[in-house]
Amino acid sequence: RGGQAEREVPFAQPGSLTRVYAVASGKGGVGKSSITANLAASLADQGLKVGVVDADIYGFSIPRMLGVTRQPTQVDEMILPPVAHEVKVISIGMFVPGNQPVVWRGPMLHRALQQFLADVFWGDLDVLLLDLPPGTGDIAISVAQLIPTSELLVVTTPQMAAAEVAERAGSIAAQTHQRIVGVIENMSWLELPDGTRQELFGAGGGKTVSESLTRTIGAEVPLLGQVPIDVTLREGADTGTPVVLGHPDSPAAVAIRGIAKGL
């Protein structure tokens, strides 16, 4: 809509009842997208109206994880998002040709995010989840500018190297004045057949991030939960049925549903 005035972001309007969570991590591969997809499916399963914006330019994986097969459609000047497992989904991956590598500059990303928020017909959502790219990039600042009331969820693994970068991703909230809802530790352990827990990535990352962010922000940043390594989670992500729906009694599903209930 070149030349026309930008539409307002509905979630930023006074009186908006939609809770907006930006899911952040320090580095890639910690399971941020898996957690986002499963939180979304879990919240929708609770009966809430849920949307997801996949803004992870480097690894847009939400459509696959949620089993989205359709493309967005356009009606008048609005974009209708495809729906999967009762979740409305828009991904940056739906707007890039083929498997072309994408070079996004800060202003382009800001504009794309603005359009995802304002030009997509979301309807009345209870919850909007934003899957951010890993790190402390421009897009985290854009989210804060576009939706000042958005809140951060920080995902880390137990590993100290991951925790340190997660802290940095979270501490951006000190500058943007966003609330940090809490920290989610993923890949916390693998449960062995004899019931013992093997801590493949060490232990303590989630607790460390929660404590250090509590100090940095000056407000309690709780550890919301620990999600174990679970083969059914990975399989569900690959086949488009989130583990919280496909294997609701698996350890990862139980952990993620518990976190979703507390949000």
Binding mask 221-250 for ligand ADP (x = CB under 6 A): ------x-xx--xx--x-------------
Q: Is 33 annotated as a binding residue?
A: yes
Helix (H) or strand (E) holding 22: strand 19-25
DSSP 30-57: SSHHHHHHHHHHHHHHTT--EEEEE--T
Pattern 48-87, ligand ADP, x by CB under 6 A: -----------x-x--------------------------
Q: Is 31 annotated as a binding residue?
A: yes
Which residue, 10 or 247, has its beta carbon nearer to ligand ADP?
Answer: 247
Residue 30 is assigned to a ligand binding site: yes
Only one residue has tokens 């488009």, namely: 240
Taking CB under 6 A as the rule, does residue 33 contact ligand ADP?
yes
CA 25 – CA 36 distance, rounded (Å): 11
Can you state the angle between helices 138-146 and 160-176, rounded to 10 degrees?
40
Could you tell me the smallest distance in angstroms from the CB atom of residue 75 to ligand ADP?
31
Residue in 9, 10, 22, 25 binding ligand ADP, rule: CB under 6 A: 25
Least spacing, CB of residue 162 vs ligand ADP, in Å? 10
CA dihedral 30, 36, 41, 42 (to 10 degrees): 80
Contact between 227 and 188 (Cβ < 8 Å) = yes
Q: What residues form the annotated binding site?
A: 26-33
Write out the residues near ligand ADP by the rule CB under 6 A.
25, 28-34, 59, 61, 186-187, 227, 229-230, 233-234, 237, 252
